[in-house]
Structure 1
């Protein structure tokens, strides 16, 4: 017999009929809120970018103009995040997406991680160039730009931080992928900008007080390495979701085996992420006393992150009678 269940705690992942046609919407519980916050941060970043470029042009400040154009790269990356939220929502019920659009955010997160890696390379290259070819720095003006940039970026980071890496408390839950890689990508872009602002302030103060002009590019190289590390971590996490890789410490396989092992032998088990905090599973069972698939499904009821489950039950072949394939309902 072959049966499938569709059960999940987020409202948009719940189907009207468990065994009949049902929706495959596996967007994160905070999908729309995260989209609104991302657009708000884009607005803040774009306003700051325009103000800095305009002021830099009016006052002949290269520091202001450079920071303004630097912010434009992060605004572009944030657009990847925001547009992917919109695309996932618009196509959530499109039957062409067999398991919904929950992974669109991970694809966007991976793309943003690549952009972040390019940003780190550009910062590193510019810093090494300045180390070999020192330039004169207007400390007062540059420090003011860095402070303003830091304030804007910290405010943006606060908007994007909530929920970017938090799982649900208590009960059965695999914390490995409960967060939204798309939001995490936007958060890391803003955090990278904040980090460069902090390091610039430290370097500029040291340069002004101690005359350590070389410290500015050195700290730039350090910042580039830190951002590259964040980028690599995000690539691994989002990329793992895209190729259906479960992390080594995932609890879900063990929980499924513990729930079903007392009543049947699991002969095949496939688990993958459908969207933030929501998993799909295909489970093949073999037992001498087959029960309806609903009985095995009920045993998985406490594992709330299982949003779409397909169960196949096969009777154990009797000695001398060969293997008999179960009927599929």
Structure 2
């Protein structure tokens, strides 16, 4: 059997595939964790002082978000510390996706808890201190808006530069947006309950919020699980096929394209070709594919 494999060995390259805004996003996430924890403590304290179960429930709800945001912050730290470790064949660029998936699971559980509690309160209405609860909800909304602005800058930076996005940052951003949504719905329901007597609107808004948050969580789980399972990026794969395959010259026999970081893909391209082609020629053809940061080319002559 005649076969030939050309491997590029003229330089040693690393496997650090962290996003270009890794440090900045990590700092933003830590600030949001701090704000969330402060707000959580304030709501739980106010709940005990006023005897408001609504505030206590929202305080513990904030605690779950603080935990999820803490996971996001920890993921940034872990990815940076082990970025050059030989334990990880393709670096730690996907640690953020793992953190994002874990956060999405927590977000899904939060939506379930909110939904169940809202249904129970719809069936068994409880007394609500509308004035105090509204004030705390407004403060919570302000904290969420500040947090969203902190994270939103980095989130929009990815899209503006055409990146696939930092799913760890995206998960943190979705958490604070979900909190902001529940605050807006709570304020609307509390005002309606106080001035219109629509006590039933509070749990109804809770159910609506739970459904919206569950959809966000499901969407985020889909995006992050695709990365964790090395789903083929069809756009990049198709571009590689168009650049490599030439009639009577080269044919791709095996192709693997997967994401290894927020802004990086890896590709393994196996090519069967005529004498007019070789591994170096294939590499030259693939230089325009800027998404690929780690390329392995196997070339076999016909």
Q: TM-score range by the shorter chain?
A: over 0.9
| Among candidates 45, 53, 57, match of residue 54 of structure 1 | 45
Match of 2:107 in 1: 116
Partner of 1:215: 201
Relative to structure 1, is the Cα distance of residues 4 and 252 closer, same or farther in structure 2, using a 3 angstrom cutoff?
Answer: farther
Q: CA deviation at 1:61?
A: 4.3
Instruction: For 1:4 and 1:25, locate their aligned partners in 2 and report how far apart those are by CA, in whole Å.
Output: 20
- 1:126 corresponds to 2:125: no
Q: Which runs of 5+ in 1 are unaligned?
A: 6-17, 317-329
Q: Does 1:268 align with 2:254?
A: yes
Aligned-partner Cα distance in 2 for 1:162–1:246: 29
- Distance change (3 Å), C-alpha of 1:34 and 1:4: farther
1:157 to 143, 148, 159: 148
Query: CA shift at 1:26, angstroms?
Result: 0.8
Q: 2:187 aligns with which of 179, 201, 205?
A: 201
Aligned residues: 296
Once the two structures are superposed, what CA deviation does each residue of 1:184-227 show, in whole Å capped at 9, x if it has no partner? 11111111111100001111112222211111101111110110
Separation of aligned partners in 2, 1:192 and 1:211: 26
Q: 2:294 aligns with which of 305, 308, 311?
A: 308
| Deviation string, structure 1 residues 103-133 (Cα, Å, up to 9, x no partner) | 1111111111110010000000100000000
- Distance change (3 Å), C-alpha of 1:129 and 1:62: closer
How many Å separate the matches in 2 of 1:270 and 1:236? 20
| Aligned-pair CA distance for 1:59 | 4.6
TM-score for both structures, normalised by structure 2: 0.92
Q: Which residue of 2 aligns with 1:43?
A: 34
SS of 2:272's equivalent? strand
Distance 1:123 1:3 in 2: 57
Unmatched runs of 5 consecutive residues or more in structure 2: none
Cα deviation digits, residues 292-323 of structure 1 (max 9, x gap): 4222111111111100000011111xxxxxxx
- C-alpha distance in 1 between matches for 2:189 and 2:7: 60
Alignment correspondent of 2:241? 257
* RMSD (Å) for aligned C-alpha atoms: 1.8
- In 1, the alpha carbon distance for the partners of 2:11 and 2:78 equals 27
State the distance in 2 between where 1:41 and 1:222 align.
Answer: 25
The TM-score, its normalising length taken from structure 1, stands at: 0.85
Cα deviation, 1:243-300, whole Å, max 9, x if unaligned, reads 11136xx421121111112241111111011111210000011111254422211111
2:242 paired with 1:242: no
